[in-house]
Amino acid sequence: MSCHHDKLYSPKDYRDDNSFLKTLKQKAIDASESSKDVTDLLEYGGEFSIVSEQQELIEKQLGQRDLAIEGQTTKILVRQLAASQVIAWFEKTYYDIFGSQIALLQLASLKDKVTDEEISKIFEKVKHENPEALGSWSTEQYLEYLIQSKLIEKVDKGFAITVRGNEFIKILTGSGYSAEKNL
């Protein structure tokens, strides 16, 4: 079934010029609304650089398999997939991370680095408050999840938050999830 009924008629087949112009104007409105929808879909998650990074990774993987990544629909679907993967990453990280580790990330996001001494103090306090869970843990074990997840990285005499760590805090803040968790 064709939805191009306006193409069956020439301008002279319309009752008057206004009828013809009205058809053209409606097509322009439809196209601009469609264009706005496409732009909105392509910008989804735009405030998070991690979504763009994930999108580039997906596009690279598709290219390595000689799969086409042209066309608006494909670009929209890749963007939506990237955003969905970032959401899944965030939720898994949120599920696994301790509340005190979130606090450490928040502190690190405000500074160039958190010193080894500051981290030791934070960890010893958490360990003292939770001896049954963390009694045999070392500071290195406490930091391992943050390092493995690429939320922080070792720098001279301390640790700095990574782009991924900042994105985690940004999503946490904007999503309504609580930073107040156990441990």
- Give the rounded percent of residues in the chain with a pLDDT score beyond 70: 81
Residues 70 and 110 in one domain: no
φ, ψ for residue 115 (rounded to 5)?
-70, 160
Read off the pLDDT of each residue in 61-74 and give the average, rounded to a whole number. 92
Domain that holds residue 123: 97-175
List of residues 6+ apart from 182 with CB closer than 8 A: 98, 99
Going by pLDDT thresholds of 50, 70 and 90, the confidence category of residue 33 is: low
**Structural Rg of the chain based on CA atoms:** 26
142, 28 Cβ separation under 8 angstroms: no
Task: State if pTM tops 0.95.
Answer: no
Which of 96, 122, 153 terminates a domain? The answer is 96
115, 108 Cβ separation under 8 angstroms: no
What's the rounded Cα separation, in Å, for the pair 84 and 51? 9
Q: Please indicate whether residue 11 or residue 35 has the higher confidence score (pLDDT).
A: 35
Going by pLDDT thresholds of 50, 70 and 90, the confidence category of residue 147 is: very high
Lowest-pLDDT choice from 2-6, 30-34, 151-155: 2-6
- Give me the half-sphere count of Cα atoms (radius 13 Å) on the Cβ side of residue 44: 19
Which of 68, 96, 124 terminates a domain? The answer is 96
Domain CATH code at residue 146: 1.10.10.10
| pLDDT score, position 102 | 98
| pLDDT score, position 34 | 66
Read off the pLDDT of each residue in 145-174 and give the average, rounded to a whole number. 96
> Number of structural domains, the chain?
2
62 pLDDT more than 80: yes
| pLDDT score, position 139 | 97
112, 152 Cβ separation under 8 angstroms: no
Residues 28 and 92 in one domain: yes
Residues 61 and 92 in one domain: yes
Residue 147 falls inside a structural domain: yes
Residues 49 and 110 in one domain: no
Which of 46, 76, 96 terminates a domain? The answer is 96
